[in-house]
Amino acid sequence: SLTAGIVGLPNVGKSTLFNAITQAGAEAANYPFATIDPNVGIVEVPDNRLNKLTELVKPKKTIPTAFEFTDIAGIVKGASKGEGLGNQFLSHIRQVDAICQVVRCFQDDNITHVSGKIDPIDDIEIINLELILADLETVNKRLQRVEKMARQKDKEAVAEQNILLKLKEGLESDQPARALEFTEDQWKVVKGLHLLTSKPTLYVANVSEEEVADPDANKNVQKVKEYAANENAEVIVVCAKIEEEIAELEQDEKEEFLDDLGISESGLDKLIKASYSLLGLATYFTAGEPEVRAWTFRKGIKAPQAAGIIHTDFEKGFIRAETVSYDDLMEAQGMAKARENGTVRLEGKEYIVQDGDVIHFRFNV
Ligand code: GDP
C-alpha cells in the first residue's frame, strides 16, 4: 500500500506528530496485512460518508479504510554527500510515495532550533536542497548514458535527453522536479527516474497551542503558504502537541475538545485527508448487513481491479459491479428505492470506479 513519509529538521515536532498518529492508530485487528514496523503508523481515514452509511444500513460492523505514514528520521545537512545517516535518510525517502514535510512555526525559547532561529523558509530550503542535490546526481548519471545514444540519433534518447536537460536546469536553479512543467508523456519519463523532488509533497506547519484557532495570524505560516503556492504544494496547519492530546480522546470527547479550541477538524484528520488525495487515492464502499466498509483505491482503476482489492478471487471471477453513487443511495435512503429510481447501475469490466461508489460485486467462484 501507499505511504506518506514524515520528514523535517530536528526539533520541529516530527516525533510529537508521529506519536499522535500511532496513538490515534487504526484497530490492528481490522488490518491484519498491515506492516509491522515501528516507523510505520496506520491511521483510519476519517470519512463522514461511512458514518451516514452505517446509520442507514445498521450493519453489525463498520470498518473504515486505513492509511500509512512512515516516520523518516535523520535529515542532516550534507545528506546528499552520502555522509553516514544521510544516505540512509535519502534511501528511506526514496521508498515513500509522498512527502509530508513538518516545518516549525511555533516559538518556544526552551526548545532549541538547529539554526538558532525560527525561519521556516530557511528550514524548508535546507531539506529541499539535499533532495535537489541527490536528484541532480541521478539526472547527471542518466544524462551521461543517454547522451551517447542521442548522438546516434536514437529518437527516444533525444527526447529523454531534452527532458533531462530541463530537469538539470531546473534543479540547478533550486527548483524541485515537481514544480517544473512537462507534458503528460514527458512526465511518464520523469516518473521513471524516481526523483525525490518529483514526489507529491505537502508542508505541515506546526504552530503553537495558542495559534491553532487562527493560524494565519502567524507570519511564519503565511510565509510557508506563499512558498508552497510557488511550487503547487499544499499546506496543512497543525499543533502537534494538541494532536498528541487529541489522539488519546474518545470520539465525543474529541469533538468537545475541538469545539473548545474553536476548530472544526483536528489537524491530524486534515493531514490524513490531504495525504490521501495527494496520492490520488479515493474511497468506494461495500454496504451489507454484516458489514459496512470503506476501501481505498487509486483513481482511474477499473471495476475488476477494484474488486481485487477485496479479494483476488473477486477480480478473477468478476462478472459485474452493481453500483450506486453515495449521493443517490442517500437520497433514496435504501437500495430498494434507489433501484426504483433507476440509479443502481450494472457496470462491466471497463467501468472506471468513482470516489463514493457503493458497490456490490458479482463474481464466479
Ligand atoms: P522532532 O525532533 O522533530 O521529532 O521534534 P519533537 O517532536 O521531539 O519536538 C521537539 C520539542 O518541541 C518537544 O519538546 C516537543 O514537546 C515540542 N513541540 C512539538 N510540537 C510542539 C507544538 O506544537 N508546540 C509547542 N509549544 N511545542 C512543541
Can you tell me the mean pLDDT for 51-78? 89
25-29, 347-351, 359-363: least confident range: 25-29
The answer to whether the annotation marks 162 as part of a ligand binding site is: no
* Ligand 1 atom index nearest CA of 239: 23
Cell 542521442 belongs to 150
pLDDT band at 80 (very low <50, low <70, confident <90, very high): low
Tell me: is residue 16 an annotated ligand-binding position.
Answer: yes
Is 70 exceeded by the pLDDT of residue 84? Answer: no
Q: Whose CA is nearest to atom 7 of ligand 1?
A: 13
Is 15 flagged in the annotation as binding? Answer: yes
Closest ligand 1 atom to the C-alpha of 207? 23
Pocket test of ligand 1: the residue of 6, 9, 11 to mutate, having most ligand atoms within 8 Å of its CB, is 11
Q: How far is the CA of 207 from the centre of ligand 1 (A)?
A: 10
* CA–CA distance, 8 with 185 (Å, rounded to integer): 32
Strands 201-206 and 40-44: unpaired
Ligand-binding site membership of 230 (annotated): no
Nearest CA to ligand 1 atom 10: 11
Ligand 1 centroid from CA 239, angstroms: 9
Mutate which of 6, 9, 16, 220 for ligand 1? The one with the most ligand atoms within 8 Å of its CB, which is 16
The model's pLDDT over 208-252, given as tens digits with 9 standing for 90+, comes to 988 988 888 899 999 999 999 988 789 999 999 999 999 999 888
Helix axes 14-24, 267-278, angle to 10 degrees: 90
Instruction: Report how far ligand 1's centroid is from the alpha carbon of 117 (Å).
Output: 15
pLDDT above 70: residue 207: yes
Q: Residue 74 — pLDDT band, cuts 50, 70, 90? A: low
Residues with CB under 6 A from ligand 1: 8, 10-16, 106, 108, 111, 206, 208, 239-241
Tell me, in angstroms, the distance from the centre of ligand 1 to residue 13's CA. Answer: 4
Quick one: which atom of ligand 1 is closest to the CA of 238?
A: 23
pLDDT at 75: 64
pLDDT at 111: 79
pLDDT for residue 116:
75
Task: Tell me whether residue 84 is annotated as binding.
Answer: no
CA of 17, closest atom in ligand 1: 7
Residue with the smallest CA separation from ligand 1 atom 21 is 241
Q: What per-residue confidence (pLDDT) applies to 307?
A: 97
Mean model confidence pLDDT for the chain: 91
Where are the domains positioned within the chain? 3-46+63-116+200-278, 126-197, 300-363
In the sheet with 291-298, reading across from the earlier edge strand, the strands are: 61-63, 291-298, 281-287, 357-363, 318-325, 345-347
Q: Which atom of ligand 1 is nearest to 73's Cα?
A: 4
Q: Give the ipTM of the model, two decimals please.
A: 0.92
pLDDT at 268: 94
Ligand 1 site-directed mutation target among 104, 241, 266, 271, most atoms within 8 Å of CB: 241
Kindly report the backbone phi and psi dihedral angles of residue 127, in degrees, each rounded to the nearest multiple of 5, phi listed first. Answer: -70, -50
User: What confidence score (pLDDT) does residue 24 get?
Assistant: 84
DSSP conformation letters of 229-244: HHTT-EEEEE-HHHHH
User: What integer pLDDT is reported at residue 109 of this predicted model?
Assistant: 78
Identify the three-state secondary structure at position 36: coil
Write the class of the CATH domain 3-46+63-116+200-278: alpha beta
Grid coordinates belonging to 47? 470519512
Summarize pLDDT for 132-170 with one digit per residue, the tens: 999 999 999 999 999 988 888 889 999 999 999 999 999
Which of 203, 193, 175 has its CA nearest to residue 7?
A: 203
Closest CA to 198 of 164, 224, 222, 227: 164
pLDDT at 17 over 90: yes
> In this model, does residue 263 exceed pLDDT 90?
no
* List of long-range contacts for 213-217, beta carbons under 8 Å, 24+ apart: 213/261, 213/262, 213/263
Greater confidence, 345 or 252? 345
Helix (H, G, I), strand (E, B) or coil at 264: coil
pLDDT grade, residue 76 (50/70/90)? Answer: low
- Residues pairing with 102 in the sheet: 204
Query: Which pLDDT band holds residue 37 (cuts at 50, 70, 90)?
Result: confident
- pLDDT of 86 > 70? The answer is no
pLDDT of residue 145: 93
What residue owns the CA closest to ligand 1's atom 9?
13
Task: Give the pLDDT mean for 7-28.
Answer: 89
d(CA 236, CA 269): 10
Mutate to test the pocket of ligand 1, among 69, 111, 266 (most ligand atoms within 8 A of CB): 111
For residue 12, which atom of ligand 1 is closest to its CA? Answer: 3
Which cell numbers in the block locate residue 276? 490521501
Burial class (CB in 10 A: 0-12, 13-18, 19+), 249: middle
Which fold does the domain 126-197 belong to in CATH? DNA polymerase; domain 1 (1.10.150)
Region for 295 from its dihedrals, namely left if φ exceeds 0, alpha if ψ lies in -120 to 50, beta otherwise:
beta
Question: Would the annotation count 11 as a binding residue?
Answer: yes
Average pLDDT over residues 32-37: 73
- In 85-200, where do the E strands start and end? 98-104
Q: What's the whole-number mean pLDDT along residues 319-340?
A: 97
Q: For residue 94, what is its C-alpha cell?
A: 526514496
Share of residues in the chain with pLDDT > 70 (%) = 96
Instruction: Give the count of alpha carbons within 13 A of 93, CB side only.
Output: 32
- Check whether domain 300-363 has CATH 3.10.20.30, yes or no: yes
Report whether 269 contacts 258 (CB < 8 A). no
Q: How far apart are alpha carbons 346 and 173 in whole angstroms?
A: 52
Phi and psi torsions of 263, nearest 5°: -125, 150
Task: Say what the pLDDT of residue 47 is.
Answer: 95
